[in-house]
Amino acid sequence: MGESIDRYHLVAYELTIERVDALVAGLPNLIKSHAEGLMSRHRYGAGADAPSPHLNVLGHPLLQLPIWVDAAVGEGLDEDTIGDILESSLCGYLSVRAEDDYFDGDWDEPKAAMMLSTMFRARHQALLARHVSDDRFWNRFEEVWGGYADAMLRESALTDPSSEYGPDDFEAVLLRSQPLELPATPCCR
């Protein structure tokens, strides 16, 4: 059983990568080159040397979580809907990845990181909007992304050697992972 689930996730991953590769291929040249660089650095895309780090037990369940929730709820979403949800999940992650690379000092072009993050986040939101119209979801969406923004700034401030790090800071910094929950929500209709 575990092997077939892994194969299913691999197929879902490959289809999602195809969709995001097509998105990137259609971008204007300058932002396209930054998107390709980001995806290459993190082993996303059809040309990646190795599978994404998210297809193992230690990675964030970017693609697994929506599939797990869909299976648990028993809705059996159609292929186009689950495709939009999985692409949304990966685009949301890539928006975060661009920002995180900049915060970590791995990207010396802040304008490119900001624009690429914005482009991927807009795609993330647009794909979810096709399937969710409930105001409660969109209120939560804003709350989660606001918490993420605060957590990233707090984490960055805590890298200063003179700063103190306590339980409240730890809890607040954990909010940077909360956007992972958003693409699974449409599976709960």
Residue 54 within any structural domain of the chain: yes
Residue 77 within any structural domain of the chain: yes
Number of domains forming the structure of the chain: 1
Question: What rounded mean pLDDT belongs to the chain?
Answer: 83
Residue 93 within any structural domain of the chain: yes
Q: What global pTM score does this model have?
A: 0.84
Residue 128 within any structural domain of the chain: yes
77, 70 Cβ separation under 8 angstroms: yes
In this prediction, residues 122-138 reach a mean pLDDT of 93
Residue 110 within any structural domain of the chain: yes
Residue 86 within any structural domain of the chain: yes
Angstrom distance (rounded) from CA 121 to CA 126: 9
Tell me how long the chain is: 189
pLDDT band (50, 70, 90) for residue 1: very low
Residue-level pLDDT at 176? 82
Range of the domain at 109: 2-133+180-188
b/e string for 71-84 if b means 16 or more Cβ within 10 A?
A: eeeeeebeeebbbb
Q: Which residue has the higher pLDDT, 82 or 141?
A: 141
Residue 153 within any structural domain of the chain: no
